[in-house]
Structure 1
Amino acid sequence: MPEIWLNYGITDVVLDIRAENLEQKIDSDGKILDDSAINEKLNTIDFSKPMELVVLHNSKSIQKIISSMFTLCEQKSKPFPKILTDKKILNQVKAGLPEGSSINEFENMENPNSNLVFMGEMEFDGLFGYETVSTRLIKKFGLESMLSAYAKRQGNLPVPGQYPESLQEAKKFSDNFEIQGIEIVANSQGIIDFSIGHPSETLSNTKILESNSIKDVGQHKTMIISTGKDASNDNLGKSFSSLWNCSNAIKKDGLAILVAECKGGLGSDALQQYIENRLTLEQLRNPTKYISGMEDLLFLSEIQKNFQIGLVSILPEFYAKKLNMISLPGIKYSMDYILKTQGARQKVAVVADGARILLR
């Protein structure tokens, strides 16, 4: 029996699946940068200038870049950059930092200065096509601009890996600020590449992500999808991106089971309001006000016309049912459910790094 480990929050869980039921295991790939190549790229930074490094989310690749920067500062006898991050992930980020570093909360973009360097790992996104430093900034600090980005969406289905007009809105938003970005492209093995510059310039890394992440795998009736890393399944809204990335490879009336811990809860106001009956699907079509996560609710309702979705998470069963998903209490139950409803010989495709892969 093949043993497949899938990420689930800060741990991995094992999927026990018989060889005869495993159709394919799909993972991300790409050549990884070694330490000397990482240091060579980081050496282009002027460490004598004060730097405030804003960590937009936590991941192994981000921790790797930070620790490499600290090593270089030590070697050059330069001051360590100040680390800033969102209150919610402050302790997580702190745990992965090198000794001697200080970390504080990053509150807002009201008075940004040119010392700010925003750091994020590039992924795919249903609304913007790509999740970049620019899109993370508009989502977090540009709610008014988000209405325009949402209105410019390409239809009511997600468009990961494409370049919709919405992405230009994110670029326009980040152009308002004299800031820098470090845009990382990584996979489950390590860092593939990264670029340093204004977030509107580092957007060009989308081409590198695209060339390493698109896989032609045909269509599958049944798929189990892990997001691949903790930061991508911290909440339900974020976890949906992995589902969108795989949606074109799921047959009509098929089944996709999303494995996502969601310890941060639903992660969006729109999902919360919908569950509390304060928002209807009709209101998502042409809203006059943007509510965070609207796009995920819209995409979910449209995609469910094509296939069923199961969810392995710690969210209350009531949430899953309200969102028309099958609630499964653990990874073991997902295989049991498949074999019981689809037959003992059903073949299953398993995606190990859903956030950084795009299936066709």
Structure 2
Amino acid sequence: MTQGGITTLSQIHRAARLSVAPMMDWTDRHCRYLHRLLSREALLYTEMVTAPALVRGGALHLLDHNVEEHPVALQLGGSDPAELAVAARLGAEAGYDEINLNVGCPSDRVQSGTFGAILMKDPSLVAECCAAMVAAQPREVTVKCRIGVDDQMPEEVLPEFIARVSAAGVGRFTIHARKAWLQGLSPKENRDIPPLDYDLVVKMKALFPHLHLSINGGIASLDEAEMLLERGLDGVMIGRAAYHQPADILCSADARIFGKATGMGAEEAVRAMLPYIEAHLSAGGKLGQVTRHMIGLFAGRAGARAWRRSLSEGAAKPDAGPQVVEEALARICALEPQAQDV
């Protein structure tokens, strides 16, 4: 995969065989930089950025990212076609490879802005929004959605939703294989309580063979990802597992999913993060803004608990610098492989 520049459509589609989900408060640019070290091939997503924040609020700093992150997609939230068109154009001008519309987030705050999962109830509006985004800029427009919301019957509403939105120029969807309950469940509960229906998403691929369909929701390992790809889906998106156990998911992803042994191991990635950390601190940033995303790098390995504690406690000190990370890594490397401290 070409680094440091816009990728082609075929490269993006290939990268989408495995992607890391957009996650609020987690997949910021520091997180994405780390994930790119672990996998050179997987598609990365920003946190959701709202169109009003960009267009009305002028918060263009929300589009900041490193050229090393490519292939990287911008996820937008909104429901006003004209506003989303402007936001999509700003995202393309900022250098993102893909513009994704969030039709899956169930939080009250998102609902109050009439976007996210509540838009599953209005596929015509989603189609209008996507058509405006497609017309406004040259990047591919994609949609991340649920299989339905509330009392909707997913087997009825999802095919209609995909048909209407794809007719507006969307050729790639990521489907979170759960309904969202807009009342009565928190966003966290909406990630766990509604039952998963992978079979329905597989059926959508049979109904729409010309579309690129990725599946999301509850996928916690590369073994599961490979099984879903073998069922005919075009891609798999992994969320919390990729964040909390990034090495388990991403260090092997290039070899297993893409047939390329190009990603770094956890120790090598930590060392590669040190110049990035130094540059961030020199620009006035704080160590914890970066290291909070590195906490899970050694999950399940000897010394993982000590690593977490060293980073958490060390980053809180006023003079915290790269030495905190170097010392924590030295302790990990000094441990015998057979030791258990997880």
> TM-score, normalization: structure 2?
0.28
Q: When you count strand as a share of all residues, which structure comes out higher?
A: 1
